[in-house]
Structures are given as structure tokens and as C-alpha cells.
Structure 1
């Protein structure tokens, strides 16, 4: 039976895709049957709908209490999920609100007094509201941990576990991510009851676009210049990653000085500044957005042509998550790494098993080839004739 037949009429009428993605076909029936789930599927393959549709169906909008909680690692991802849910619950009694850091806490408390059916939020703010006895976790029957590889890592694990353990003992828990390591799976299972493990690989995705993984060998000090050059290329919209917030801030100063169509996104920015930056990027006013992993987690930006690694990621999982921002929903894309000599060994590790292509930055263009290609191009380029200087008599 098609899982759409199990959804109520309101949700069926809002389904606007020709065919479901594999993770949706697998996950929705299992969630509707009440199972705890560990789900792994590449980025851009429909995981948000795979859990929001059953959650919306299972909650009761007429009950004056918060029944479902979706935890995410970033403000932007929380807002994105809230927008998806608002569209799906339009015309029904189901309500949703977001509880994120960086926003006015008193306003969030006022929203909680109205008993929203579903809450989406970040771990820090959620725990604050629980401690203040403003968010009643005992009422939570349905819990989703999105980007679980990050939220169940050591950095967030204590906060997230405390939220899960405070929920109703009969809760249903779903854990989703593009990558689920053995450690994360073990932690998840400790918090679950007979969980089902779902896994979708990239070769199972229908109509998946072609994503090229390329690299350019470059001196560390020239990375900023190449970014500026790429931002001038026609049609480029790139999400760019750096490992370190301090380095990102230094890049920001250098790029803004030269008035390039580039902006930065990091977790310490004010909420309104972050929203405006993302809005400008989506509109195309900004061509390249430089971010840390935390700031860019789960962002779904339509028409993204490139992901650029200014720094080589620390792990293969990081490389997968970053790279998955482009080539979404069947579109083509390119993952470009600006590779300094000291980073070559790390790049080989994180990109192991992926076909990579070397490119060169020459004369304001990305060209497939290597260092010898540049020498050949220089030799082939017509030499500028020197102006003749008349000798004085």
C-alpha cells in the first residue's frame, strides 16, 4: 500500500511531488505504526517530510498541549522546518512554534502559554525553558532528533539526552541524519525501544543529479583571492565552508574591504543579521556565503551551484554533510576544495572512494587540468607586443 493512502485528506492534498523519495516510502509507514527509528539518508533526499508528515498526522491539534518536539542543531534549520510544517498544517487546528537561541525568551514563553501542538528548537534554549518549567516535557509523545550525528555527539549529547529522558515514558523517538556512525547508533539505541534501522544510499535516489567533486591546488594565502574571483563568475551560487570561526571573521574583513558579493554566517551573529544574510543569499544579492558547519547545518537553498571547502573538513562525515548542500532534488552541482599543500593527505582521507577531478584557476576561470595545463596555457597565450620606442636622433 502506498504510504500516501495512510495520510489524512488534508496532507494528501498538500503532497505536490510526482513520486516519494525512498526514505519517505520507508520511514512514514514505520512512524505511523509507532516504531522508534534510526534513519540514514543523503542530504537533500526528503528527510524533513519523512518525519513531519507522520508527526502532523499523529498529533491532535484540538488538545491544548504540546505533543511533539523536533530538535535541531541550528537556528536556520529550525526556522526552515517550522516553515515546512506551517505550510502543511494550514487550515487545521495543529499549530507550531520555534524555540531557538538568539531570540527573545519572554516572547517564546508567551507562545508556549498558547500550547502549540508542535515545537521545533535548539538544545540550549529548549533546556532553558524546561528548567524554567515553561516547556512541559511530560506532554511530549513524539520526538525527532534531526542532524543526529551532531546532536548525539559529545558536544550536545548531555543536553539532548536530558530532553529525551524528560519526555513522556511512552514517547516515540526518531533519529535522522545523512551519516550515522556506529557510536551515534549505539547512543541512539540506548534511548530507544526496539528501534528499526533504515538506510538509503545515494545510488538508490531516483533522478539524482550529477555532482562533480573537484579540487584546486593553491597557496593558503591565495584562497581569499580565488574566492573573490569565483564570486565574479556568471551563474555561481556557492555555500562555502571554513573550520574556524576566527579565520572566517578575518576572511570577512578582507572580502568586505574589496566589496565582493560575499557574506559570512556564524553562530554568534544576531538572529536578524543571520536572517537578512540568508535572505540576500537566496535572492542572489550575495553570490558566495561563507559559513561554519554549525551555521549551515541542514540549510536547503534552491539553485545552489557549488559547495566550496576553503578548509578541508576534519572527517569524511563532515565532507558528506557539507557536500550534500549542492546537487539536491535531482539538480547538478559541484563540490570544490581549495587545497593547500599541507592539506593534501587529509583531503585524500575524507574523499576516499569519491572520484575527484583536479582543476586550475587560470585567467579568472576554473579549468579542468593540473599545473602543467597552466604552463601550456601560458605558452599558448598570444604574447603582447611591446610598443616601439622611437630613438632620439
Structure 2
């Protein structure tokens, strides 16, 4: 295993690794709270690999992760550490043909990394046996609970032997996570950091004021003037990600989108391209905020400010991986100052304003009067209606959509 660790370039352990590995090796249950990008995957992978009996080709280690992307990355990380040991590891997740996973499981594996839903599927089919599992890891536990996996997690933990060892890693700790800890863990070692200590010292954080018409020109100016070469650009919606990636391509940038409307093969292709530096700008929704572990990302751009304060820190944690430096830039529109203030209140680091040469309207967005074609009611639009093109108020627009769905 040391050969595999050395091949990854590990020299000194990160704080979460230094505090977690020894207790886990000693058989203790561990609760680890650490911000993303601190090396916690290795913190649980190394002890799990060490505990595997290679002669028994049965599932002995189980890792639960919230997303397909994270499950694939964890499995790949474990494989790289253990590639000289003969240990077999496989990821199982939705979106991939289940028959392929069944064949892999039947051939015999030591460690399974999977999403809760697909793990449950295999358990119900009888294609995954957990009676030999001695170690379970819940990674990004808060994210799994946010996605509604609490019942699946309980069902899975009820199926593993009672004497199993459990490690739980999470960026935040809330009441639901503590309920899981109290129910399934035995006197766990707590390695915690206060939520007030979200410093991210290696990340230079900035914000820039924008409006609807200046947002894209400002992005292009920042890419040019800041010399941005590899970045994740976060949008609020799937449609927004698709549109922005398309505009960047039309402007000559090597960009692509990653969001929930893509099929699993499409998502894999985009992720591989970004990892291999074939894509310079990855435009993503929050599906990529927790899970992508790719080195060399110099900038995170919040094209739309996140809805939740903690999502900001999950997003910008994609840069400055393992003590490297990075830059985060957040676009702040009219009415979003309170959200930016909340973010600033949660970090001890200074978030400074960036100035650009693009003209910005700092007031509320312009409103334009329009007449609904159907009900003839006057209403406000956030854009200037095209002459001769019909427009509809929200009520009539919804009615038209329902009528269209019934016809087709």
C-alpha cells in the first residue's frame, strides 16, 4: 500500500488525515468534520485497505456517497492507493446498466463504493451481500441527508453486521446526522471544527456587482484580465448552465456544461474532458459543487450567487485543493447584497470587491409594460418585448402550457 500512497505524491498528512487514520486503524468509530478538499478520502481509504483480507473475495468495506460522480472518484482514489495490493474495488450507482454491476459483484470484490439508492437496489435483488462487511464509511453525510437518503441509509446500516466499524465524514453537523451517530456508532472519536472556522485561507475571495445585461460581458472581461485558464462556473439552473456554456463556445472558449439533465455517459464524458484539460471552463449546477475532485482548478466563479450560504463554501472548495492556492469570484446582482453579507459573516477571510470596465445598473432591473394577447391585461416584463411578437401574462402562459401538454 505504501507504494500506492507514494505514487500519488503524498508526503505529509493533512490535519484530517493525521487525526483520523490512527483511530480508524485502531478500530474506533470516527466522526470527522472537515471542509472539502482536505484529503478526507485518503483518511478513511488507507485504514479500510489495511483491514481487508485479500484471500476472502467478499465485500468487506462499504462506502456510501451522495452522487455518482463522488462514488466514481472515491472508488478511483481507493484503487490508486491499493493497486499494488490486489484489492478489488468497484463503484455502483444509478445511471449505469445494472447487469454490468451484477457481473462485477458476482466476480468478487473487496470494497464497494455506491450511492444509497443503487445499494438498496442490489440488496433487494440479492446481488450484494453485506454480512462480511467490517467497515462502513458515510462520506458527505450532510449532502446525503439533504438529498433525502435518510431512510435508505438506515436500511443499509441495519443490514450490516452489528460489530461493524463506522466512520462518518461531513462538512456540517446537524441534528439528523447526530441521530445516525447516536443510533449506529459506538463511542465515536470526534474530530470536529466549528462552523465559524470556515476560513479557506488559500482561496482569494472576491465579489463583483452585476446586472442582467452586464453579467456575461463581465465574465468575459474577467477571463481575459485575470488570465483564467481552468475554472468551474456555477449557475443556479440547468437551463442557465446549458445557455452559458453555449455562449462561451460561441465566443471561442473551450467550455461545456455539467447538470442533471445529462445522461450518465454524457456526464462522464464532460468530467473526463475537464479532468484531462480538454475543457477549460466547466459550467455547472450544484450537482458538481460536492464531489468533483479535480486538481489544477485555479478559479471558481459563482455566475449566480448560491441560494444557501453553506453552498458557497462547498462550491469554492473545488479550488485550492490540498493546500494549493485558488481564487473565487461571486457575481452579486441587485437584491443579493444580504446573501453576500451572510456569506461574509460565515468566513473570517476578507471578500473584496473587484471593479470592471463594464457599465452596471446598480438599481432594480428595468421593467417594461406589455399587454397580454389573451386576456388583454397590462403587466410588467423584465425585458423589452419584441415588436409584433405576442406576449402572455403568467396566468395565461401557464394555461397555454397545460393545453399544450394535453394535446401532446
TM-score by length of 1: 0.82
**Distance (whole Å) between structure 1 residues aligned to residue 275 and residue 6 of structure 2:** 28
Instruction: Describe how 1:159-238 pairs up with structure 2 within 5 A.
Output: 159-200=152-193, 210-232=202-224, 234-238=227-231
Q: 1:155 to 1:330 in 2, by over 3 A?
A: same
Q: 1:250 to 1:188 in 2, by over 3 A?
A: farther
Q: 1:243 to 1:93 in 2, by over 3 A?
A: same
Match of 1:240 among 228, 233, 252: 233
Once the 2 structures are TM-superposed, how far is the Cα of residue 242 of structure 1 from its aligned partner? 2.3
- Please name the residue that 2:253 is paired with: 260
Once the 2 structures are TM-superposed, how far is the Cα of residue 244 of structure 1 from its aligned partner? 2.5
Asked if the contact 1:23/1:41 (under 8 Å) is kept, the reply is: yes
Match of 1:80 among 73, 76, 86: 73
Once the 2 structures are TM-superposed, how far is the Cα of residue 250 of structure 1 from its aligned partner? 3.6
**Distance (whole Å) between structure 2 residues aligned to residue 96 and residue 286 of structure 1:** 28
What are the Cα deviations for residues 210-265 of structure 1, in whole angstroms up to 9, with x where unaligned?
31111110003432333344445534311122232233334344444445322111
Tell me the secondary structure at the aligned position of residue 42 of structure 2: helix
Instruction: Describe how 1:1-393 pairs up with structure 2 within 5 A.
Output: 16-153=9-146, 155-200=148-193, 210-232=202-224, 234-354=227-347, 355-362=350-357
Once the 2 structures are TM-superposed, how far is the Cα of residue 96 of structure 1 from its aligned partner? 0.5
Tell me the secondary structure at the aligned position of residue 227 of structure 1: helix
**Distance (whole Å) between structure 2 residues aligned to residue 34 and residue 94 of structure 1:** 20
Q: 1:200 to 1:61 in 2, by over 3 A?
A: farther
Once the 2 structures are TM-superposed, how far is the Cα of residue 148 of structure 1 from its aligned partner? 1.2
Asked if the contact 2:257/2:282 (under 8 Å) is kept, the reply is: yes
CA RMSD in angstroms, aligned pairs only: 2.7
**Distance (whole Å) between structure 2 residues aligned to residue 201 and residue 15 of structure 1:** 30
**Distance (whole Å) between structure 1 residues aligned to residue 261 and residue 27 of structure 2:** 38
Asked if the contact 1:143/1:173 (under 8 Å) is kept, the reply is: yes
Unmatched runs of 5 consecutive residues or more in structure 1 = 1-7, 365-370, 372-393
**Distance (whole Å) between structure 1 residues aligned to residue 26 and residue 172 of structure 2:** 24
My pick for the range that moved more, 118-127 or 264-273, is 264-273
- Please name the residue that 2:391 is paired with: none
Asked if the contact 2:4/2:84 (under 8 Å) is kept, the reply is: no
- State the aligned residue count: 357
**Distance (whole Å) between structure 2 residues aligned to residue 352 and residue 30 of structure 1:** 34
Once the 2 structures are TM-superposed, how far is the Cα of residue 341 of structure 1 from its aligned partner? 0.9
Q: 1:27 to 1:141 in 2, by over 3 A?
A: same
**Distance (whole Å) between structure 2 residues aligned to residue 134 and residue 333 of structure 1:** 43
My pick for the range that moved more, 165-174 or 280-289, is 280-289
Asked if the contact 1:74/1:295 (under 8 Å) is kept, the reply is: no
**Distance (whole Å) between structure 2 residues aligned to residue 221 and residue 131 of structure 1:** 52
**Distance (whole Å) between structure 1 residues aligned to residue 222 and residue 123 of structure 2:** 46
My pick for the range that moved more, 107-116 or 41-50, is 41-50
What are the Cα deviations for residues 99-139 of structure 1, in whole angstroms up to 9, with x where unaligned?
02111110000000012000111122211111111111233
Q: 1:363 to 1:31 in 2, by over 3 A?
A: same
**Distance (whole Å) between structure 1 residues aligned to residue 4 and residue 193 of structure 2:** 24
What are the Cα deviations for residues 173-223 of structure 1, in whole angstroms up to 9, with x where unaligned?
111123333443343333322222102579999xx8631111110003432
My pick for the range that moved more, 40-49 or 190-199, is 190-199
Tell me the secondary structure at the aligned position of residue 98 of structure 1: strand
Q: 1:246 to 1:131 in 2, by over 3 A?
A: farther
**Distance (whole Å) between structure 2 residues aligned to residue 136 and residue 15 of structure 1:** 31
TM-score by length of 2: 0.80
Unmatched runs of 5 consecutive residues or more in structure 2 = 363-408
